[in-house]
Amino acid sequence: MNQKPMSEDKRSDPADKRSNPVDKMVRAHIWVKGRVQGVGFRAHVEYCARQIGGLTGWVRNVGYNTVEAIAEGERLNVERLIEDMKRGPRSAVVDESKVEWEEPTGEFMQFGVRRSM
């Protein structure tokens, strides 16, 4: 019996139900770790979110080597931002990433940088 290894992105996702359309609004809570501070990472994420369009939420530094973000929007757009965050800007090195899918709240008006924790 072949089993696929479980990755960080394996989750119980309400949007995975077959009856839901691809463009359903979703919310992802994303963390990336590595050399992600002092390299323009938050500005890169904000720029990517605005280029993709239709995304709301925020990005901020957490601790020494972690950037955290929450993004809401259509599933394909959120997934595109997640991939952009896993790559980061040229001078960044992303060693780990984690994504938790949550119910969207619609609480944000735009995507922006938040104050570091």
Predicted confidence at residue 56, as pLDDT, reads 98
How many domains, the chain?
1
User: Does residue 48 carry a pLDDT above 90?
Assistant: yes
Rounded-to-integer distance, Cα 53 and Cα 19, Å: 25
Amino acid identity of residue 65, one-letter, is N
User: Does residue 2 carry a pLDDT above 90?
Assistant: no
pTM: 0.81
Catalytically active residues are 42, 61
Domain-located, residue 11: no
Express each pLDDT in 3-32 by its tens digit. 433 345 544 455 454 445 567 899 999 999
Rounded-to-integer distance, Cα 65 and Cα 32, Å: 8
CATH number at 75 reads 3.30.70.100
Rounded-to-integer distance, Cα 69 and Cα 47, Å: 13
Q: What angle separates helix 41-52 from helix 75-87, to the nearest 10 degrees?
A: 150
Confidence of residue 117 (pLDDT cuts 50, 70, 90): confident
Domain-located, residue 74: yes
Express each pLDDT in 60-98 by its tens digit. 999 889 999 999 999 999 999 999 999 999 999 999 999
Structure tokens at 103: 């119910």
Residue 28: closest CA among 81, 87, 65: 81
| Segments forming the whole domain that contains residue 88 | 38-93
Instruction: Decide: 72 and 108 in contact? Cβ < 8 Å.
Output: yes
